[in-house]
Chains A and B, each alone.
Chain A
């Protein structure tokens, strides 16, 4: 990486803000910290960041509101920092346009991984052709060839149904990011699908898990974030390219 990415951290807890800033600076990011929503919004317009880390519980503006405002003019990646046990809030943030979330308390590696993933997806979107998909997903023996629609696990082919393949490839294209139930249902079954019933999605995911994972109780590739959605393991092909 030659150009430093600029990250704006909007966090009202001073100690947490400082800890994030120290960590990110140590990993060669340029960091600006804002302690309130107002300050954050003006920093976003003036500072031209590459990514925003946003705490949802701000004293002045609701975090969701900030996401909506930023989304009205930019596709800038936003990672939400939230407390556990608030699935509703997470889902609302993601469906309002946030790219990902990280649960407090988080470790440095987790934070950096989320930032890398979000930046990479953003850069890919920014590239010339509309939605230029990765040609290949590879991670620990699981390989997906998107052009040939071929899924192999340790070099033996895995037979997936049409829907199952669509699901796996959607998750793989967004590997490392969490996709909400609504997002997935919308993309696979279309806009008129019944969003309130994610049973069909979970049944399909259970089938996929039985085909891909050695032990469905200990998944290796596709992780469930209960109440929120699914996240597929980072594409190692891309890691290597970075």
Chain B
């Protein structure tokens, strides 16, 4: 809220007047104005010469004023050109020709009317232009604010997720150092084992965060290459097995030779995160199933576990990275808050879709990647 109101006030505080325009825009403005006015004069002269019609002359000048105020910056060029237009009409196209005379009967009304119409149109056009620019800027600021909120959320989730394993590591190592004499061999091994597990967890977290840096934050652009489906799956499973040797993973992939445009490191990270999530939340006596299948012009990856499933109220927000509510079992650090958020970021950057749902016996997390690059999105 605070951010939002600040954005609006920013815009309101900064009315149209901005710094002096650069020399280049000034020159361009002058050039454009002069060119349009010259063209209008030539055109008006042609009409006047051929048709002896003064009305169309005035219309041509007003049209010129509209063009000038549309394509130059600020009010000044429009107003100046309306004056120039009136002077030209009086000087060249009305009796007495090639002489100024505003006093002939009826002339004052015509010329005053013309100057008012021209100035009004010019100011209105400039005003419209200004308003559309303000709307643009406001939208940009709002987007910035949203990004800022997302970043803050992510940072909060990261600090939360980092602190838990670090506390474990510090606790276990200081217990070991301070009580070396009193601890049994078994207790010592347990301490070191805890340190090992927690640091592995930390490492995975850092790797997750590193993958995010591969996505350019400004436009979510990633470097895609054609990757063979089975190779990506195989490497992801291999890397996960290295860390969780007792994970029971069943892999079902299509027989066909399928190439998918992707950043393989990122997609591997998604697969690892989803499978790890299934490992921690599923039933340890049941396998984790990774099922990949083509569907229309995309390829879908499903990770199924046979655990308790995802609570209904968490389903819609599971990818939002909100710090997981401390659950009863107490291992909130296995909540994968960041992991799933990162999955979504990666999949969205690939223009794919990611889903979380429950099946009969547990949770199903899945994502689909498009098989063809969509060029029209690269605006």
B293 to chain A, nearest CB (A): 12
Binds B, one of A12-20, A59-67, A113-121, A216-224: A216-224
**1/0 contact string of B147-173 vs chain A (CB within 8 Å):** 000000000000000000000000000
CB-CB contacts below 8 Å: B206-232 with A: 207, 210-211, 214, 226-228, 230-232
| B255 at the A interface (CB under 8 A) | yes
| Docked CA distance A99–B64 (Å) | 74
Name the B residues within 8 Å of A203 (CB-CB): 257
The answer to whether A85 touches B228, judged by C-beta atoms less than 8 angstroms apart, is no
CB-CB contacts below 8 Å: A105-143 with B: 105, 107
Q: How many residues of B contact A (CB 8 A)?
A: 27
B192 to chain A, nearest CB (A): 14
The answer to whether B268 touches A217, judged by C-beta atoms less than 8 angstroms apart, is no
The answer to whether B255 touches A210, judged by C-beta atoms less than 8 angstroms apart, is yes
The answer to whether B238 touches A223, judged by C-beta atoms less than 8 angstroms apart, is yes
The answer to whether A209 touches B230, judged by C-beta atoms less than 8 angstroms apart, is yes
| B235 at the A interface (CB under 8 A) | yes
A114 to chain B, nearest CB (A): 14
The answer to whether B235 touches A216, judged by C-beta atoms less than 8 angstroms apart, is no
Name the A residues within 8 Å of B252 (CB-CB): 217
B186 to chain A, nearest CB (A): 22
The answer to whether B207 touches A84, judged by C-beta atoms less than 8 angstroms apart, is yes
| A206 at the B interface (CB under 8 A) | yes
Given contacts A84-B207, A217-B237, A218-B237, is CB(A226)–CB(B231) below 8 Å? yes
A198 to chain B, nearest CB (A): 10
A112 to chain B, nearest CB (A): 15
Name the B residues within 8 Å of A216 (CB-CB): 230, 234, 253
The answer to whether A219 touches B207, judged by C-beta atoms less than 8 angstroms apart, is no
Name the A residues within 8 Å of B183 (CB-CB): none
Nearest residue, chain A, Cβ from B213: A85
Name the A residues within 8 Å of B290 (CB-CB): 217
A18 to chain B, nearest CB (A): 16
Name the B residues within 8 Å of A218 (CB-CB): 234, 237, 251
Name the B residues within 8 Å of A107 (CB-CB): 242
The answer to whether A217 touches B228, judged by C-beta atoms less than 8 angstroms apart, is no
| A211 at the B interface (CB under 8 A) | no
A164 to chain B, nearest CB (A): 14
Residue of B207, B230, B237 ringed by the most chain A CB atoms within 10 A: B230
CB-CB contacts below 8 Å: A176-235 with B: 199, 202-203, 206, 209-210, 215-219, 223-227
Nearest residue, chain A, Cβ from B256: A206
**1/0 contact string of A74-90 vs chain B (CB within 8 Å):** 00000000001101000
| B303 at the A interface (CB under 8 A) | no
The answer to whether A217 touches B257, judged by C-beta atoms less than 8 angstroms apart, is no
CB-CB contacts below 8 Å: B250-268 with A: 251-253, 255, 257, 264-265, 268
Name the A residues within 8 Å of B226 (CB-CB): 199
The answer to whether B257 touches A226, judged by C-beta atoms less than 8 angstroms apart, is no
- 17 intermolecular pairs with C-beta atoms under 8 Å apart: A84-B265, A85-B210, A85-B214, A199-B226, A206-B257, A209-B230, A217-B237, A217-B251, A217-B290, A217-B292, A218-B234, A218-B237, A223-B238, A224-B231, A224-B235, A226-B227, A226-B235
Q: A217-B234, A217-B251, A223-B238 are in contact. List 16 more A-B contacts (CB 8 A).
A: A84-B265, A85-B210, A85-B211, A85-B214, A87-B265, A107-B242, A199-B226, A202-B231, A203-B257, A206-B230, A215-B251, A215-B253, A216-B230, A226-B231, A226-B232, A226-B265
